[in-house]
């Protein structure tokens, strides 16, 4: 931290400014993990050798949603967006030769956070670590999962109870661990305005602290408050984003002091990590993303008062697919240059007393307080989930409308679109592709693990876990015991499902037309004309097969299709191809649209198309959207997919026009490709 020295005069007698000690840099992390635990371990050790100062673990979707790698819902998802961790052996491999007592580890995990932390603690104990010295964070924020990311397992109330279980356990046993990152990152990706991001995140923190307060002795509660941290997003409007962070600091201090009576300022500090905005990265002219990432990083580093404790940056090519080690290294070097080459850390806050900044911060705080009061009047964050989801979908629709109308300029997308081919996109397509064989290899290791464990010990551990959940006890101690006994991720989560039930979150897309139909008259006329020809309203089925919970794109397609006058079906995330085909039959759909952003499009669409044919629906056009390389798009079209859309296809009205044409001529339109 800064310590001011006395003022002094130089030999000419001029009064000099106080000298300042240089701040320590923030934790430098890279969000990483893919394929297998051993491959991810090699990546972590390489990144640490390059100067990374903390780890940030990305888990694959089956691990995040509580399924083992051989579950039917895991098909095509294993190792794609993160590392699969099915049991203690996988966790051992993940951190092989990495001393956990000396590491600061962030695990981006929510629904299965108690379980993954239990595995981490078990491995640390095997290494001989003093568990009380472990440092790091589990994200452990389920409310934003219902709103934006979709990796929830259980309903909100028991999920809130499990969040509190982790916090209560860590406070006593792992006191340096942050038991929860209130995560506003995905709220912004789902369309949140700065005021919504502030209010929804702070409401989530209040819900957790309200749940925790009865569990913690009053004299210890302020220190418990001090362990809650945040994980935020920083977008391209970096002045607004910097002001948002200063508003977060002020509002959190205010809440801790006034709502919870925390007197010690150190327990009221707003402590946060950040990944800058991946939503704004473009598939078009992807090299421009390097500048976007740098500018966004400035929002969370320039202001000392609101500087991040940890920063992780996406890579320039994440709109195209999985970044390679070199791509991640480039983003890490960006952090190191700012932290070690510039003089940023030699000064106090650069914005204190700036009238423009002060005014913007006050505006944001006023808007956030109003939204917080609104949420409070509804009963708090848990009771307001459906309301918040609807507000996010509406805000995201407004954001996309501004881009489509060129009111928001996105360089290379809706302005200055002509450019030279990127030399960074080499023969491999400029991304890393996970070998499909990884999935079967992971399943084989899982089979070996099950056959080599003590089944009696596993059943005893599962019974203890179930009993604790049924009795309302803290699930951390039996979860750690289950980890040591050899229980798998899917088995742990299944016990939680049995006791607490499952949940399907709101989609945020109502059946009623919105007030955003301006400029849609021509499309609405076309939909009406085609509906007349078909003898009923054009029926469009929107689906998200697999475990991918990034539903923003599907929601906006459904939202626009509804406003164009189509009869839509969108039942939300995590549907199997079998369920979606059954829905297409029940609804007699004219067009079927699938959204997949996890990289599992090939196996999932292959199964969907086979089931469509078996059901006699081969005449129904299928369109697919996602982060899909050109070669994969060609393969999808050979399977019979009529159109393939990627992030560069940002004009939703053009997609709506395609749907109308496909519905009008289903037999011939399938032969025409986008």
Q: Residue 149's closest CA among 573, 596, 508, 577?
A: 573
CA 258 – CA 602 distance, rounded (Å): 53
Q: From the candidates 34, 87, 526, 544, which is the catalytic residue?
A: 544
Indicate if 31 belongs to the active site.
Answer: yes
Contacts of 619 (CB under 8 A, 6+ apart): 666, 667, 670
Note whether 428 and 629 are within 8 A (CB): no
Indicate if 548 belongs to the active site.
Answer: yes
Q: Residue 446's closest CA among 84, 75, 58?
A: 84
Indicate if 2 belongs to the active site.
Answer: no
Indicate if 544 belongs to the active site.
Answer: yes
Indicate if 601 belongs to the active site.
Answer: no
Neighbours of 521 (CB within 10 A): 10
At CB < 8 A and 24+ separation, what contacts does 450-453 make? 450/488, 453/485, 453/486
Specify the DSSP element, H or E, that contains 20: none
Indicate if 630 belongs to the active site.
Answer: no
Q: From the candidates 44, 120, 169, 185, which is the catalytic residue?
A: 185
What are the helix (H) ranges across 100-193? 113-126, 143-144, 156-173, 185-189
Contacts of 381 (CB under 8 A, 6+ apart): 143, 200, 203, 204, 206, 207, 375, 388
Note whether 100 and 134 are within 8 A (CB): yes
Token pair listed for 33:
């993990």
Q: From the candidates 550, 590, 601, 637, which is the catalytic residue?
A: 550
Note whether 107 and 138 are within 8 A (CB): yes
Q: Cα 279 vs. chain centroid, distance in angstroms?
A: 11
Q: From the candidates 71, 80, 144, 186, which is the catalytic residue?
A: 186
Q: From the candidates 90, 165, 327, 548, which is the catalytic residue?
A: 548
Which active-site residues does the annotation give? 31, 185-186, 544, 548, 550
């Amino acid at each position: 931290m800064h310590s001011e020295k006395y003022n002094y005069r130089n030999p000419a007698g001029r009064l000099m400014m106080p000298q300042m000690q240089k701040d320590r840099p923030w934790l430098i992390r890279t969000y990483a993990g893919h394929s297998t635990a051993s491959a991810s371990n090699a990546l972590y050790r390489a990144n640490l050798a390059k100067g990374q100062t903390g780890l940030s673990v990305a888990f694959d979707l089956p691990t995040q949603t509580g399924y083992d790698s051989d579950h039917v819902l895991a098909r095509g998802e294993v190792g794609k967006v993160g590392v699969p961790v099915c049991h203690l052996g996988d966790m051992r491999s993940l951190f092989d030769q990495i001393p956990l007592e000396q590491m600061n580890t962030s695990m981006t995990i929510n629904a299965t956070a108690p379980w993954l932390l239990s595995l981490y603690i078990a491995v640390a104990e095997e290494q001989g670590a003093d568990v009380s010295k472990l440092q790091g964070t589990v994200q452990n924020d389920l409310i934003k999962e219902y709103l934006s990311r979709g990796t929830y397992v259980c309903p909100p109330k028991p999920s809130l109870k499990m969040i509190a279980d982790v916090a209560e356990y860590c406070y006593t046993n792992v006191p340096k661990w942050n038991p929860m990152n209130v995560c506003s990152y995905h709220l912004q990706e789902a369309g949140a305005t700065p005021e919504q991001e502030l209010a929804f995140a702070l409401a989530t923190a209040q819900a957790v602290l309200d749940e925790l307060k009865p569990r913690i002795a009053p004299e210890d509660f302020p220190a418990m408050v001090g362990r809650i941290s945040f994980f935020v997003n920083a977008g391209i409007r970096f002045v607004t984003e910097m002001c948002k962070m200063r508003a977060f600091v002020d509002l959190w201090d205010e809440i801790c002091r006034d709502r919870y009576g925390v007197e010690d300022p150190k327990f009221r500090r707003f402590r946060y990590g950040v990944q800058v905005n991946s939503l704004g990265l473009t598939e078009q002219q992807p090299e421009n993303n390097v500048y976007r990432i740098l500018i966004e990083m400035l929002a969370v580093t320039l202001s000392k008062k609101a500087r991040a404790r940890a920063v992780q940056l996406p890579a320039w090519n994440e709109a195209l697919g999985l970044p390679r080690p070199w791509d991640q290294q480039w983003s890490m070097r960006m952090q190191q240059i700012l932290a070690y080459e510039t003089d940023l850390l030699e000064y106090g806050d650069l914005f204190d007393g700036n009238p423009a900044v002060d005014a913007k911060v006050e505006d944001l705080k006023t808007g956030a307080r109003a939204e917080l009061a609104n949420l409070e009047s509804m009963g708090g964050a848990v009771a307001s989930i459906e309301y918040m989801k609807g507000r996010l979908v509406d805000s995201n629709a407004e954001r996309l409308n501004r881009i489509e109308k060129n009111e928001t300029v996105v360089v290379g997308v809706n302005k200055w679109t002509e450019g030279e081919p990127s030399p960074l996109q080499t023969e491999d397509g400029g991304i890393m592709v996970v070998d499909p064989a990884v999935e079967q290899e992971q399943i084989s290791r899982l089979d070996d693990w099950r056959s080599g464990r003590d089944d009696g010990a596993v059943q005893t551990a599962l019974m203890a876990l179930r009993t604790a959940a049924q009795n309302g006890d803290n699930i951390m101690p039996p979860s750690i015991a289950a980890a040591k006994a050899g229980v798998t991720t899917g088995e742990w989560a299944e016990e939680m499902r049995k006791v607490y039930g499952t949940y399907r979150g709101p989609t945020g897309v109502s059946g009623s037309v919105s007030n955003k139909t301006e400029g849609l008259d021509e499309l609405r006329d076309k939909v009406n004309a085609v509906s007349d020809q078909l003898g009923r309203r054009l029926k469009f089925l929107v689906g998200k097969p697999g475990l991918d919970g990034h539903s923003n794109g599907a929601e906006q397609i459904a939202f626009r299709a509804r406003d164009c006058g189509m009869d839509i079906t969108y039942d939300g995330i995590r549907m199997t191809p079998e369920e979606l085909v059954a829905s297409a039959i029940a609804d007699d759909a004219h067009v079927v649209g699938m959204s997949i952003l996890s990289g599992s499009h090939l196996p999932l669409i292959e199964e969907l198309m086979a089931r469509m044919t078996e059901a006699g629906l081969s005449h129904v056009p299928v369109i697919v959207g996602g982060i899909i390389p050109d070669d994969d798009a060609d393969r999808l079209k050979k399977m019979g997919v009529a159109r393939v859309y990627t992030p560069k296809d940002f004009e939703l009205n053009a997609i709506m026009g395609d749907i109308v044409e496909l519905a009008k001529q289903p037999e011939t339109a399938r032969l025409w490709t986008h």
